[in-house]
Amino acid sequence: MKYNPKQEILVQQVIKALGDCTEEEIAERLGHEPFNKLSEDLRVIDSKILHRIVMRWEKRKVITSHIYDGKRLYCLMSIPWLARLEMIHVESIPDEEAKHFLEELERQAKEISAYASKAPLYGQYITVEALFETVDPILGGDITDKERELSFPRNYDGELYIRPNWLNGYIRDNARLANLSNLHTYMRTTEGTFLKQPKTFITKQIRVKMGHVTYEAIPPKTQFKTIIQIPLSGYDGFNSLDAWVEKFFRKVEKAPLRGLGANSKVFDGKIKLVEIKEIN
């Protein structure tokens, strides 16, 4: 099949739109807006061709991948030239212009790769203490000895707490809102501890795949704190704590792709940042 540089750019545009994604999700997204408005000759990509494109640019350090839940997920590296992706209408640009874009992209990727071999690309970490407040009810999902009743997590002292995997999942899934690839690999949190142990409540029965269950939940306006490791290098435009607050935390809290807690789609599971400070 004839080499088509436009399809290579198109695949990169889809990956940027999706964030962490599988090859199957890339192919599926090509059939939805805005990509479904392109001609079939351009957007209908054979699975073998799609795989070759992804592998080619992973080899060139433009795409990176990791395994999550048994699936290989792909995302774009943080390369300045990729900011131009959103301005390219692949169907209207000449082939030569598409080739030039890819050549320059490869050149910049090599430069970044060479720099990364000398020093860590993601670094200059600061440790912060962040205070969050729940905006919606947060549901617990721990199994109990009562059928179809789920409880809120408790630690070994019997105190309620926010699981660190909840917070890390919140970071991972909402990184797409700020176009941050692989953020969950470079930003980590501790468990969330409540300023005051909240009074929980039991929800009405909620329909799930296995039938109906009730959840033990904490109410809105409950505050908890956590420790976060934040990199100040590696992501363009995120070189200060203020930048992280405005471009990530504030942006995510308005309408997160994933809320906090179990089955967050029921009440949204929104949280908001109240205070954040650097600690030693």
Mean pLDDT calculated for residue range 13-32: 91
Q: What is the mean pLDDT of the chain?
A: 89
pLDDT at position 118: 53
Looking at residue 271, what is its pLDDT? 97
Distance (Å, whole) CA 203 – CA 215: 5
Q: Could you tell me the pTM of the whole model?
A: 0.58
- 13-17: which pairs have CB atoms within 8 A and are 24 or more residues apart? 13/85, 13/86, 13/88, 13/90, 15/63, 15/74, 15/75, 15/76, 16/76, 16/82, 16/85, 16/86, 16/179
Where residue 124 falls (left for φ over 0; alpha for ψ -120 to 50; beta otherwise) is: left
The residue-averaged pLDDT of 196-208 equals 88
CA 76 to chain CA mean position, Å? 12
Half-sphere exposure of 258 (CA within 13 A, CB side): 16
Q: Which domains occur in the chain, in start order?
A: 5-118 (1.10.10.10), 123-279 (3.30.70)
Q: How far apart are CA 101 and CA 93, in angstroms?
A: 11
Average pLDDT value for residue range 95-105:
90
Summarize pLDDT for 225-272 with one digit per residue, the tens: 999 999 998 888 999 999 999 999 999 998 999 999 988 888 889 999
Residue 116: pLDDT over 60: no
Q: What confidence score (pLDDT) does residue 1 get? A: 56
For tokens 């199957």, name the residue. Answer: 24
The band of 120, judged by pLDDT with boundaries at 50, 70 and 90, is low
HSE at residue 220, side-chain half, CA atoms within 13 A, is 7
Could you tell me what percent of the chain has a pLDDT over 90? 55
The mean pLDDT value for 16-40 works out to 89
pLDDT score of 210 more than 70: no
Beta bridge partner(s), residue 211: 208
Give me the pLDDT at residue 122, please.
Answer: 76
pLDDT in tens, 44-61: 999 999 999 999 999 998
Distance CA 24, CA 51 (A): 10
Q: Do residues 234 and 156 lie in contact, with contact meaning Cβ atoms separated by under 8 Å? A: no
> According to the model, what pLDDT value does residue 131 have?
98
pLDDT of residue 37: 86
Tens digit of each residue's pLDDT (9 = 90 or more) over 128-149: 999 999 999 999 988 888 878 8
Closest by CA position to 222, among listed 168, 266, 160? 160
Q: What is the pLDDT of residue 115?
A: 63
